[in-house]
Structure 1
Amino acid sequence: MNPIEWSDFQKVELRVGTIVEVEDFPEARRPAFKLKVDFGDEIGIKKSSAQITDLYDKQSLLGKQVMAVVNFPPKQIGPIISECLVTGFHRDDGAVVLAVPDTEAPNGAKLA
């Protein structure tokens, strides 16, 4: 593990958002979905791609709240530009379990 300073952690904008749109992403090298996530009035809706097809389907993702990094620079991923990084945890089998709040939080709420 590489220790970081508190000031480094404070730079990361981890926010809660609600998935408002889910599309297949057939152009992705590995199975993925294209997501639109609503982070509230201050941040708005951001696009992302997520390799989460092992444990989730489009219907189960729609309306789900997730935690995402919203202050990375946009990144070209195939034909889309990813504007946020939806977070999750890798299982031993390679599947990703989303990092989610355990109760509803306002869109845009920052990790405390």
Structure 2
Amino acid sequence: MTIKYTPDHEWIQVHGDGTATVGITHHAQDALGDVVFVDLPEVGKSFAPKEIAGVVESVKAAADVYMPITGEIVEVNEALRADPSLANSDPLGAGWFFKVKMANAGELDSMMDSTAYDELLKNS
């Protein structure tokens, strides 16, 4: 499974069936602090890259969650809605935000792999 990263600190994990799971990175959740609320997108809604697909609120701040790729929301993480702290305790696992049916997998080519993302963090 391929995982890519955006400069806005979202991750996207690609599945073999044309879908992908999206969430926020360890860095994002660490910068936010304790997550207390998430606003997830509506299933069936389509987004273009960099459109706001959700919001995450913490005790320190609120941040937009951007769609990393063109696609349609096919599932949201109801467990995260019920327990927003999953975004802190397991951001790359149980704390995922939504799943998307990708319209153009070629858009992944412009995203960072883990090495490039680590470099971004070192230089910021």
TM-score normalised to structure 2 length: 0.32
TM-score normalised to structure 1 length: 0.34
